[in-house]
Amino acid sequence: MSAAYKHVKFEGRLVMVGFGAIGQGVLPLLLRHIDIPRDRITIITAEERGHQEAAELGVKFVLDPLTRENMKGVLDQYLTAGDFLLNLSIDVGSVDLIRYCGPRGILYLDTCIEPWAGGYTDASISPALRSNYALREAALALREGHGPTTAVLTHGANPGLVSHFVKQALLDIARDTGSPAAPPTDREGWAALAQRLGVKTIHIAERDTQVSETPKRRGEFVNTWSVDGFIGEGMQPTELGWGTHERHWPVDGKHHDYGCRAAIYLDRPGASTRVRTWAPHEGPFLGFLITHGESISIADHLTVQENGKAVYRPTVHYAYHPCDDAILSLHELAGKNWAPQKHKRLLMGEISKGIDELGVLLMGHAKGIYWYGTHLSVGDARSLAPYNNATSLQVTSSVMAAVIWAMENPKVGIVEPDDLNYQRIIELALPYLGEVGGTYGDWTPIQGRGELYDEDIDRDDPWQFKNFRVV
């Protein structure tokens, strides 16, 4: 690859923990855009999967599962000050990895904050402590004592890229409503802009239409990205940033009595909670309200405080319609009382067609609704980067962008996607995202409802969470 593609020269070593679909997909992008010798990259993983891809790319592959007990001993062999730990694993405790990296001067990035194996489904742990809220608070608590070395939390596509999409969408709405704004320079400025525009609700609205010629079989979980990762987050409690405009408390809603208090959870798995949402190509659809870190961080960063009280915050949550075979897989999973299927299939090379439509849907402002995001087909994804489908490339391009940003900004401490330069991240990821842009619409979650059945709808404010939720 020509040196013109290299955005940064990295003098340290890079260790990747985990080498599933995202790890395999991101490595070619890192090699393409970062000037680093291949013999300074090491993969540490718990599975043999990906060994051939690593060999093809000339990168060292170490089969040595990390545990609480061996983590330090293993990592000490490969990492020292000035190196980079890229955590793309599941079942490895992110908080412990961050705690390891900070005092040693090791750069760090992950795509979600993971507990150790079993942490998502351990019945002895309360839903509140299995939540992304609790994991986020534990990670942010490390800021004191971490030191200046950069650690980027939860930066894939979502969480990650979508936080930057929100900022671009806010600026677009401001421009199109006749009150253009310069990009704010701090979180208070972004929150004030969202408040001024009257944004009440933000969905991360995603519809995956990728299909395989081989249909899902009984007893099999099929997905276009990590099966274990999807099952794990689907088993966590439903979580959402809770807006100040909300006036109907969910019957199963619970709040946290510590931390930022920007989010609540429902006492049920995210894989059992559905919401109404909208995207330009698909139109209206039902998505699962799967917990994600961006639901909390975006809501927190867009909160306006006065005298210690939140006077403005939008409701923020994920609304995800995975590929159709994954929908069938979730239905079967729920029917088996959440006992995972014995067989798992990751759709990659066998995908025959389809797109992943991923964006942010901002609602309640003067122009109704505005969706900003990416439409990426599997064909385009394959032409842009090896070892990727449409879903994975949206993640891997964002990981690549954030790794470069961290290398360019190595001394900012622990940060979330909302703290990064949104323009730089979008600029770096954009070549891999297919069609990117915004679309206005006139959809609301109460459109056409009440005609067949007498539904309990708040017609005075269509942007109430109760109107989105499918009961």
The answer to whether residue 424 is domain-embedded is no
Q: Looking at the structure, do residues 345 and 382 belong to the same domain, yes or no?
A: yes
Two tokens at 69?
């007990």
The answer to whether residue 409 is domain-embedded is no
Domain span including residue 448: 161-390+433-470
What CATH number did the domain enclosing 113 receive? 3.40.50.720
d(CA 324, CA 329): 9
How many domains does the chain fold into? 2
Q: Looking at the structure, do residues 124 and 168 belong to the same domain, yes or no?
A: no
What CATH number did the domain enclosing 310 receive? 3.30.360.30
The answer to whether residue 403 is domain-embedded is no
Spell out the per-residue pLDDT of the chain, length 471, in tens: 445 689 999 999 999 999 999 999 999 999 999 999 999 999 999 999 999 999 999 999 999 999 999 999 999 999 999 999 999 999 999 999 999 999 999 999 999 999 999 888 888 899 999 999 999 999 999 999 999 999 999 999 999 999 999 999 999 999 999 999 999 999 999 999 999 999 999 999 999 999 999 999 999 999 999 999 999 999 999 999 999 999 999 999 999 999 999 999 999 999 999 999 999 999 999 999 999 999 999 999 999 999 999 999 999 999 999 999 999 999 999 999 999 999 999 999 999 999 999 999 999 999 999 999 999 999 999 999 999 999 999 999 999 999 999 999 999 999 999 999 999 999 999 999 999 999 999 999 999 998 888 899 999 999 999 999 998
What's the burial of 20, exposed, middle or buried (CB within 10 Å: 0-12/13-18/19+)? buried
Q: Looking at the structure, do residues 108 and 141 belong to the same domain, yes or no?
A: yes
Q: Looking at the structure, do residues 129 and 173 belong to the same domain, yes or no?
A: no
Contact between 163 and 426 under an 8 Å Cβ cutoff? The reply is: no
pTM score of the predicted model: 0.97
Contact between 288 and 330 under an 8 Å Cβ cutoff? The reply is: yes
Q: Looking at the structure, do residues 177 and 112 belong to the same domain, yes or no?
A: no
The answer to whether residue 426 is domain-embedded is no
The answer to whether residue 94 is domain-embedded is yes
Q: Choose the final residue of a domain: 110, 127, 152.
A: 152
The answer to whether residue 401 is domain-embedded is no
The answer to whether residue 417 is domain-embedded is no
Q: Looking at the structure, do residues 254 and 305 belong to the same domain, yes or no?
A: yes
The answer to whether residue 82 is domain-embedded is yes
Q: Looking at the structure, do residues 145 and 173 belong to the same domain, yes or no?
A: no
